[in-house]
Amino acid sequence: MLDTFEQAAREAGFALDDAQRAAAARLSRLGAELAGRRRFFAGPPPRGLYVWGPVGRGKSWLTEVFYEALPLPRKHRVHFHEFFREFHAVYARHRRERNACDLAVAELLGDCRLLFFDEFHVHDPGDAMMMGRVLTSLFDQKITLLATSNYPPGGLLPNPVHHHMFEPTIKLLEASLDVVEVAGPRDYRTERTAQGPRSRFETGQYLCSPDPQHLRAAGLEPPTADERRQLDIGGRALTARAVRDGLVWFDFHELCGERTSTIDFLTIADRYDTWVLAGLPRLATADRDAAQRFANLVDVLHDRDTRLHLLAEAPLAEALHGDTLPTDINRTLSRLRLLNGT
């Protein structure tokens, strides 16, 4: 399979760096082990991988090439946020059962042999506690796990107030998976921005302090007062400044300043494929929870390939600068740099 990575890199216009080549070799070995187990149906499942490193170094690219090339029918790829939304819904149906977590995992994954978690990161303490049970169930059901992350296992759930509660799960990850770092010198995501948009997300815009005339020039008609709508999201009301066909328009403080969750963002993204978020402040002046919600929102919209028009009070580098911001703000910054106008 190593030749597959080399060819994919050539077709994409670059050569694998040393860190990428080492990760590709380990992924190739995993592919051979999975194929061998498929033939002989014996022995323990292959040991999974936890691939981590800074943004833009090629983690997702490498694992996507691996996943697409792997001739294994019983494989499943899911973004971390999406999995947990589905898991909570299924778990709720089994919550009275003694083995509710095992039943939920089995219902979601069936006879899956390889589960690929893209963008594995944990910030919510409730999800963190459940994650340990989910991982134990996955390994008990002999599912091989592949995960990508911007953090080493020890960097997950970085909030010092809660981190100690996640340490048993960190030990489980380190004991069950090979940890592979991809940290080459080039930021490929930054280089991509010069090549033009490649996704719906990248066709969005970052507009700094736009007045109505600038908004109209950018193709955005400012909302009127009578366009305000209350959206029913899981039995609670969220205020949208406007709803127009597939577009929804929010104010930063009304969306991220409330106790919204990643599941709320996923639910709204199911309905609308174009978002406008107005009033992004300098995040250092915002509540830390609001800043974390904003980072989660960008993750969801990027992963869903949803078009985002972000209306801000300051240039991007200023808006996302500060010592008190979430530890994964560099990933948020990297993703927002994909937008036009940054």
Class of domain 196-336: alpha beta
Between residues 284 and 323, the one the model is more confident about: 284
- Cα-Cα-Cα-Cα torsion 108, 83, 166, 257, nearest 10 degrees, comes to -140
The domain over range 2-181 is classified in CATH as 3.40.50.920: no
Answer yes or no: is pLDDT of 178 > 80.
yes
Between residues 54 and 253, the one the model is more confident about: 253
* Residue 257 identity (one-letter amino acid): G
* Residue 147 identity (one-letter amino acid): A
The domains spanning 2-181 and 196-336 adopt the same CATH topology: yes
- Write the CA distances from 57 to 13, 232, 294, integer angstroms: 15, 39, 23
Length of the chain counted residue by residue: 342
User: Which pLDDT does position 19 carry in this prediction?
Assistant: 94
Q: Quick one: pLDDT band at residue 334, thresholds 50, 70, 90?
A: confident
Question: What is the average pLDDT score of the chain?
Answer: 89
User: Which pLDDT does position 153 carry in this prediction?
Assistant: 94
For residues 56-61, average pLDDT: 89
User: Which pLDDT does position 197 carry in this prediction?
Assistant: 47
* Residue 339 identity (one-letter amino acid): L
Under DSSP, is residue 49 helix (H, G, I), strand (E, B) or coil? strand
Query: What's the pTM?
Result: 0.79
Report the distance separating Cα 320 and Cα 51, nearest Å: 26
Report the distance separating Cα 311 and Cα 290, nearest Å: 16
For residues 141-161, average pLDDT: 90
Answer yes or no: is pLDDT of 147 > 90.
yes
- Give the number of other CB atoms < 10 A from CB of residue 231: 17
For residues 289-299, average pLDDT: 92
Q: Quick one: pLDDT band at residue 196, thresholds 50, 70, 90?
A: very low
User: Which pLDDT does position 123 carry in this prediction?
Assistant: 76
pLDDT tens digits, one per residue of 73-111 = 899 998 888 888 899 899 999 999 999 999 999 999 999
Contact 84, 264 (CB under 8 A): no
Contact 207, 310 (CB under 8 A): yes
User: Which pLDDT does position 24 carry in this prediction?
Assistant: 97
The domain spans of the chain are: 2-181, 196-336
Report the distance separating Cα 68 and Cα 101, nearest Å: 29
